[in-house]
Amino acid sequence: MTQDSHPQEKTLFGHPVGLYTLFFAEMWERFSYYGMRALLVFYMIKGFLGLKDNEAYGIYGAYTSLVYATPFIGGMLADKIFGARKSVVLGSLLMAMGLFMLTLQERNAFFVGLALLICGNGFFKPNISTMVGALYPKDSPQRDGGFTIFYMGINLGAAMSPLICGYVGETYGWQYGFGLAGIGMLVGLAIFIAPTLLTQILIGLGALGTATSLFFLQNNPYQLTVNILVALALLTSASVAVRALGQGGLPADAGRPRDPEAASRTVFGFLRQDLAILLGLLLVIPIIAILVRHDTIAGYTLTVFGTGALVWLFVEAIRSPKMERERLYVVLILMFFSLLFWAFFEQAGSSVNNFTDRNVNRVFTEQQVTAEDVGKTLQIKVSQAQLGLRNGDTVFTLDQLSTLRESKQDTVDWAITEEHVGMTVQGAEVPASIFQAANPIFILTFGLVFTGLWSFLGARGWEPSTPVKFAMGLLQLGLGFGALWMGAQSHDPRGMVAMSWLLLGYLLHTTGELCLSPVGLAMITRLSPARMVSTVMGAWFLATAFSNYLAAMIAQLTGVHAGEGAESVFPAPIQTVAIYGDVFGKIALTALGSALICFAMAPLLKKWMHSDAQDDPQTT
């Protein structure tokens, strides 16, 4: 028996009770990942590193691509030596160490921290996803629904993290945001390894404490409303998980190695294989830190590594029996469309994040300048509402705003002229990183709706095939970037864009993601031969690695940093809005074209999936 042949009989709401343990372990891991992601680009540009846009985008792209490249190796090591369970534990420890390294605010520690996160994710990510699929019997109609529930756990963590880590990091200090992310990682590890009773306690107390903090980490009623909704979702999920775990936790054989003796076998005649891998990590981590620091080298490395992995999978497909071969062809083709999807979607953490910071109006107005104030000099607390406006002879920029906030002196004397009539002088500004929560909150809102929709259509034989769902995802992604382009075209005289356009873009990106991502994970576990399921899952994330590197190259097209010696590093909003709008418009057209191609290929891909065949790859 393999590590993924242990379906669980005890269920709650039709799903194995072990799913709810994995839900919360993954939720806290995603809390840590997205908590640091919400801050990472801002930290590199506005923090102690002081990087320019394109430098930060390059490092961000190298980091995110390598984060998704290492699961290919982590999957193989789990298949051959460690098993999924031990791999998840090792990955969690490495990631926690990396997050705490980021709190040190030292250049070398920063890159070593990113390297630890990259290695840790390689062990964690493919194996916890594989364990989810393994809880279900072969051909189970509940598997897709289980992955969607698991995906909601991912996005509950992703929703919480900007609201907590992002808010704390931007308001009180970057190191505190990264520190909270590290604590979240340790909580997820404890939930995964603890006895069932202790796991219930950790889930319950963790949810209660986090939900309580959400009531305080906000500065306006709109943000409080969002925080309350996320807190309620967290408490509801925790209550369900605690009830499920009352029937039992994760099965004891879940994630066990295929060959229990593999780890203790020796290499070179004297060194255990598992110890050899750990020693190898000590050598690999500094190398990865150098690759992140020099993103061009990382790109070449990723290209060589990815090409080798692609060739290996293609050879394995050719050597396989006809049905396995055609199913692997489907996996490879849909990997390509997934690569395109995520290359565009992952603008969220880079170019869209900076667009939100610089060109989206995030201030809720409470008091404005009136005509009676013209000619006066008012003492005001500056915010994003002043970006692009003149105070005397000086245009107020993001640099000046950041400098004032760092010095804790953000109140200035402002000479009021006619152009300032209507300017906000009192109001709550939502931190830009908070908007990273929009996508996961929309997933929490619509995730079960999509699950119910697929079930409703499936019961009547109307459910779209997986390739059609991929095409639908690309279509909606293109429409979402079309919304961002339209927002940029309708900017106000300062170059600022209404929040509604940003939220509409995120909504369409989310509905597209719900069509593509959960079914993509389920497809891997369903179509991959059992002997290589974790490896193929790693290859799936490897395609995402390519997409993240490509995403960084796309983001660099929006770089707006001024040159050396320029008085202003960040131009006024009116000078940047067209740059972002032009790139977003081109992304929209490319995504829509890709969707049409995927729709055209869908009938052939559906045939190659052999969905009605009795022979399942998990049993061959």
Q: Name the band, by pLDDT with cuts 50, 70 and 90, for residue 89.
A: very high
- Containing 413, the helix (H) or strand (E) segment is strand 411-415
User: Residue 204: pLDDT above 70?
Assistant: yes
567 SS3 class: coil
Which pLDDT belongs to residue 569? 64
- Residue 467: predicted pLDDT: 92
CA distance linking residue 541 with residue 126, whole number of Å:
8
What residue ranges do the domains of the chain occupy? 11-358+431-609, 365-429
pLDDT tens per residue, range 536-545: 876 777 777 8
What pLDDT is recorded for position 325?
83
CA distances from 150 to 3, 27, 524, 528 (A): 19, 9, 15, 20
* Confidence category of residue 620, pLDDT binned at 50, 70, 90: very low
Give the pLDDT score at 401.
84
pLDDT of residue 263 exceeding 80: no
Q: What is the mean pLDDT of the chain?
A: 86
SS3 391: strand
- 21-25, 93-97, 219-223, 305-309: which range is least confident on average? 305-309
**pLDDT at res. 561:** 59
Check pLDDT > 80 for residue 610: no
pLDDT band per the 50, 70, 90 thresholds, residue 469: very high
For 431-445, what is the mean pLDDT? 91
pLDDT in the model for residue 183:
94
Of 239 and 313, the structure prediction assigns the larger pLDDT to 239
**pLDDT band per the 50, 70, 90 thresholds, residue 619:** very low
Query: What percentage of the chain exceeds 70 in pLDDT?
Result: 94
Q: Contact, 23 vs 153, CB < 8 A?
A: yes
The pLDDT-based confidence of 216 (bands split at 50, 70, 90) is very high
Q: Sign (positive/negative) of CA torsion 429, 435, 441, 447?
A: positive
User: Model confidence at 299, in pLDDT bands (50, 70, 90)?
Assistant: confident
At residue 559, the pLDDT reads 81
Question: With bands split at pLDDT 50, 70 and 90, how would you rate the model's confidence at 142?
Answer: confident
Nearest to 396 by CA among 365, 371, 423, 435: 423
**pLDDT value of residue 9:** 61
Please give the average per-residue pLDDT across 574-594, as a whole number.
Answer: 95
Q: What is the pLDDT of residue 8?
A: 58
Looking at residue 613, what is its pLDDT? 67
Average pLDDT over residues 426-430: 86
- Joined together, the tokens standing for residue 125 give 């990510």
**pLDDT for 3:** 45
Nearest partner of 94 among 193, 194, 186, judged by Cα: 186
pLDDT of residue 203 exceeding 70: yes
Q: Which residues contact 285 (CB under 8 A, 6 or more apart)?
A: 112, 115, 116, 119
562 pLDDT exceeds 90? no
| Each residue's pLDDT tens digit, 320-330 | 888 888 888 88
Place 236 in a pLDDT band, splitting at 50, 70 and 90: very high
pLDDT digits (tens, 9 = 90+) for 369-406: 899 989 888 888 888 888 888 888 888 888 888 888 77
Range 11-358+431-609: architecture per CATH:
Up-down Bundle (1.20)
Single-letter residue type at 614: Q
Q: Specify the pLDDT at position 429.
A: 87
- pLDDT single digits (tens) 477-498: 999 999 999 999 999 989 999 9
Question: 568 pLDDT exceeds 60?
Answer: no
**16 in helix, strand or coil?**
strand
pLDDT of 217 higher than 80: yes
Residue 1 has pLDDT above 50, yes or no: no
**Is residue 150's pLDDT more than 90?**
no
CA angle 278, 283, 286 (to 5 degrees): 125
* pLDDT score recorded for residue 601: 93
pLDDT score at 614? 54
**CA dihedral (16, 238, 254, 513) positive or negative:** positive
145 pLDDT above the threshold of 80 = no
Residue 618: predicted pLDDT = 42
Give the mean pLDDT of 183-209: 91
Please compute the mean of the pLDDT values over residues 107-130 and round it to a whole number.
90
pTM score, two decimals? 0.85
Confidence of residue 66 (pLDDT cuts 50, 70, 90): confident
Angle at CA 528, nearest 5°, toward 62 and 439?
A: 45
- What per-residue confidence (pLDDT) applies to 317? 80
